[in-house]
Structures are given as C-alpha cells and as structure tokens.
Amino acid sequence: MQAKERQYIIAPLYFGPFLMSEPLVTVQSVSVTLGGNAVLSDVSLTLAPGRITTLIGPNGAGKSTLARLVLGLVQPDNGNGSGGTVSRRKGLRVGYMPQHIKIDDSLPLTVDRFLWLAAPGPTASRRAALERAGVAHLRRRGVQQLSGGEMQRVLLARALLRKPDLLVLDEPAQGVDVAGQNALYGLLKTVRDELGCAILLISHDLHLVMAATDEVICLQRHVCCSGSPESVSRDPAYHELFGPGAGTPNLALYTHDHDHDHDLHGNATHSHEHSHHHDHDGPCNHD
Amino acid sequence: MIELLLPPLLAGLAVALVSGPMGAFVVWRRMAFFGDTLAHGALLGAALGLALDISLYVAVVAVCLGLAAALSGLQRQRQLAGDTLLGIVAHTTLALGVIAISLQTGIQVDLFAYLFGDLLAVGWQDVIGLWVGAIVILLLMLWQWRALLSITVNEELAQVEGIAVQRTRLLLMLLLALLIAGAIRTVGVLLITSLLVIPAASARRLTHTPAQMAAVASVLGTASVLAGLAVSWFANTPVGPSIVVAASSLFVLTLLRKPV
C-alpha cells in the first residue's frame, strides 16, 4: 500500500493546525477512583475531528481508564461534579476497538453476523470493512475460532463499519511487528482523512506512535506532558517516564526509507534490510 | 380423549415455543442458575398469590422481579461469587415457599403440582393466557433482537454503540420472569430451567446463527412437549418429568451428530 515512496515522519506536523473545529469530546480536570485507588487525577483532554491523539505511559498509568472515560464506560468521581466533567458532542458515533473480547462458545456467531450487530446493512459494506482491515477471508468464520490477532482486525473492521466520528483503539499494535504497525498506522491516517474522524490510540510503542500522531499525551495517573510528538520527545518529563534512551530529540526529523510492501499482518512481500537507527534500548522506568 | 388432551397440549406448546429463544439467551449468558433461582422463588410467589388471593401469575412475576433486583444488588459485593449467592437465595426462597404453602388453611394445596407441574389440569382460560403471554414475549424479543444479542455478545461494545444496556437487560429479566410464571403449570418450579436449557443446548450443535439456534430450540422444545405428553398418556407417568426426559433424550441424540 505504500511502495516506493519516501515517507517523512515529520508529516503529522503539517496536519496539526488545520482542523481545530468543535471538539467531539472534552474531558475537564477529571479524577477517577476505582476500588479505592486514585487511577486518574486532574486529567484534561480534548478530542477534535481529524486529529490523532495517542496516550502513552507505563503499565498502571490509567491509559485504558482514560479511554474508557472518553467512551462513557467509566464515570468521573461524583458523577459529573467535583471530580471533573466529561462532555460529548450530541449524537457522537463512536467506534471502539478493545484489546480483546471473549464471546461465549455457546453462541453460534460468524464474523459477518458479529459485524451486522454493530451496523445492520448490506453484506457488501461488511465485506469492504473487513477488506480494509485485511481480514476479508475471515467473514464466514466463527468468532470463537479466531486467533487474538485476527480478532483484533475484526474488531477494527467492526469499528470502521460504523463510520465513526470518534475511533478509540486500545493497544491496536499489540502483537503486530514493526512492518505491520507501519501498515496499521498508515490505515489509520487514511481513515482519519476519509472520515474526518478523531482517533484516540493507546500504545506502548513509542517510536511508531510518535510518527503517526498529531498529539501525544504522556500519562502517569496525571498528564505528565502533552503536545506534538516533537515537543513531547524533548520534554524532560517524557524522559523521566520512559528513560533517557526513549525517543531521540531528532525523532520528528527522522526519515524512513520505504521500498517494500507489507500487509497488516506484517508480512513483508520481499525482504529488506531495515535502515532504522533507533536508540531503542534505553531502560524504561516502569513501576 | 382429544378434548382432555387439547388444553394441556396447547398450553405446553405455548411454553415450549417461547422457551426456545429465551433458553438460547439463558445458555449464551450463562444464566441457567439464575433462571433456576427465579423459578425457586416462583413457589414463594405462588404461595403469596394464594395467601393474598390475587392472580398467581401476577404474584409470581412480582416475586421474580423482586428477586432479580435483589440479586443484582447483592452481586455488587465481591467477597462471595455469584453462584454462591444464587445458591443461598434459591434454596431460601424455595424453603420459604414450601413453608408458606404448608401454612395455607382452608383450601388443600397440592405441593407436588407446583414443584413438578400439573399440565393435565390446565383449562381453556390458562391456554388463552399462556398464548397471549407467549405472543407478547416473542414479539418483544423480535423487536429488541439486535439489542438483546448485542448485550449478550459484549455489554461494553453495545454500550459504546449506543444500546441502552441496562434497559435491555431489564427487559430480558422481565420476560424471563413472565415465562417462569407461565411455565409453572407445565413442568413445575424444579424443572423449568430444564425446559429452557436443554432444547437450546441441543440446538447449539445443529445451527450456525443465533436466530437459527433460537428457532431450532423452539422446535425441539415443542417436540419434547408432544413426546412427553404422549408418554404420560400411554404409560401414565407424571407429565412434567416426562417432558424433561423427552428433551434430554433429544439432547443425547444431538450428541451423536458431529458439531457444526
């Protein structure tokens, strides 16, 4: 899907300022306590159409909780009161791709039916959505027979099928290799451009996230730092969170030679020595 | 003979027809023990209905709904697992129901009929009530089919996609309570769950889609009622247990088939 082109990863910076229309979701100084533990405190976040926002942070930083807050699956402390407020644009259509879901074996459900539940309509639309996510061949398969990675693709197709205003993806790159991740982020950009939707990602992979994102939010129960990938990667708080080796300062100017094809499964169609020079081995201060 | 058999036959068919789709949801959502608990509570409802001299159906539905609400409240505490709570509630309500029925003075109440059903005693009035109830339940399920199925597949996805999860879950609970109230006469409180679970479980191996599974469960339930009634008539066995044994026999037959 992106053969013989020279991709500048600085590209997201160009998209930055042009689409600051009415926000879809506004989270304002929200605190969330779950089971007696303060998971989020004083977190603010704005999701605007056409922008890709990525949440990064160590395990237990509250990334999933923040995403679930945006989705309305978690409420701020004291409802929408002293624990902050969450407001959504009226009639917001949301596509959600959770990390994994478990469907009971007793339910005979094909991938096609599973997609129909999200958006009833002609078969062709479901086939197209699956095609997009690279799993058209799974349409007649039972959902219980899918591997974890296949289920993720199907969940992505299901989210896309709804033509969402807001797409929320929890760890979409998990278990996908670097080439597959490139393809995935390429797809997300295309979707963003086509639908003009906002995208909220949760990710662990710093480098690729940085490359494909308009705004990065570093989370450690509160917002450590946020902004464009370039500014975040220069922020001392970011380095404190992820260690000195994470994200070189010249990240945003780093170019990526792209002269091979690969699909969403990360299968390179002809092998190629990657000319990446990431400083990727720095210790991360995960706790 | 046909005048004698027709009301029980029609009553049993009404219950079996609804038990198909409802039983499918009970199986998919792993609510078998929950349904059993509501059914046990139904005996208490029946006793209250007798004591207060109100309609047995109204009393049973009221008690079932009360139990459902109490259970969802109890399940918020996390020290005891759901099935432990259900075990406590199910048998407490059953015990209370037996005590309440034994305390009834005046009319003689046949406890056995409530526990194991008394299909042969139903009259035309019951038949009409059961069919009206059956059609109402089926129409409501058809109308809310996508919502019901969505919350069964995954409640969080359903909520994100704009489905009123709480309301849909409440609807399912209400319909289940209605069905249990109606089914007391057919197979009795101790055997209701089997009429829900067994045909649906048999249908699983024969079908590819949720709707197919619900429909085939209805067919198998209907066949079980027919076979059970026939056996009961010719061999003079109790009707409710005969229907359950017929359903189980069908289940064993489906085991012979390779799963699809």
Kindly give the confidence (pLDDT) of every residue in chain B, 260 residues in length, as a single tens digit, with 9 standing for 90 and above: 677 889 999 999 999 999 999 999 999 999 999 999 999 999 999 888 888 888 888 898 899 888 888 887 787 777 888 889 889 999 999 999 889 888 877 667 778 888 888 888 888 988 999 999 999 999 999 999 999 999 999 999 999 999 999 899 989 988 998 999 888 878 888 889 999 999 999 999 999 999 999 999 999 999 999 999 999 999 999 999 999 999 999 999 999 887 65
Q: What sign does the CA torsion over A247, A252, A254, A258 have?
A: positive
pLDDT for B201 equals: 96
Place of tokens 């001392």: A236
Beta carbons of B70 and B89 less than 8 angstroms apart:
yes
CB-nearest to B156 from A73, A109, A158 is: A73
- Contact check, Cβ <8 Å, A108/B154: no
- Please state the domain extents for chain B: 2-255
A35 — alpha (psi -120 to 50), left (phi > 0) or beta? Answer: left
Q: In this predicted structure, what is the pLDDT of residue A174?
A: 75
Instruction: Tell me whether B145 touches chain A (CB under 8 Å).
Output: no
As given in the structure block, the two tokens for residue A45 are 């976040």
Checking if the pLDDT of A18 tops 90, the result is no
Max Cα-Cα span within chain B: 56
Chain B residues inside the 8 Å CB shell of A117? 146, 149-150, 153
Q: Does B160 touch chain A if contact means CB atoms closer than 8 Å? A: yes
Q: Which residue of A has its CA nearest to B161?
A: A94
- Beta-bridge mates of residue A198: A166
Question: What is the SS3 assignment for A264?
Answer: coil
Looking at the domain covering A1-93+165-287, what would its CATH class be?
A: alpha beta
Mapping DSSP onto H, E and C, the string for B94-159 reads: HHHHHHHHHCCCCCCCCHHHHHHCCHHHCCHHHHHHHHHHHHHHHHHHHHCHHHHHHHHHCHHHHH
What is the pTM assigned to this prediction? 0.82
Give CA–CA dist B23/A222, Å, rounded. 47
pLDDT at residue A180 above 60?
Answer: yes
Q: Does B28 touch chain A (CB under 8 A)?
A: yes
Cβ-based interface (< 8 Å): residues of A facing B: 71-73, 93-94, 96, 98, 101, 103-104, 106-110, 113-114, 117-118, 120, 158, 162, 168
Give pLDDT tens digits for A133-177: 889 999 999 999 998 888 988 999 999 999 999 999 998 877 677
Model pLDDT for residues A59-78, shown as the tens digit of each residue: 888 899 999 999 999 988 87
> Under an 8 A CB cutoff, do A101 and B154 touch?
yes
> Token pair of B54, please?
């109100």
Cα–Cα distance measured from residue B246 to residue B254, given in angstroms and rounded to the nearest whole number: 13
Position A95 pLDDT exceeds 90: yes
Termini Cα distance of chain A: 39
Indicate where chain A has its CATH 3.40.50.300 domain(s).
Answer: 1-93+165-287
The CATH architecture annotation of domain B2-255 reads Orthogonal Bundle (1.10)
Q: Does B254 touch chain A (CB under 8 A)?
A: no
- To the nearest 5 percent, what fractions of chain B are helix, strand and coil? 80, 0, 20
Percent of chain B with pLDDT over 70: 98
Contact assignment for B161 to A108 by CB distance below 8 Å:
no
Q: What's the ipTM?
A: 0.86
Residues of chain A contacting residue B29, judged by C-beta atoms under 8 Å apart? 104
pLDDT of residue A244: 61
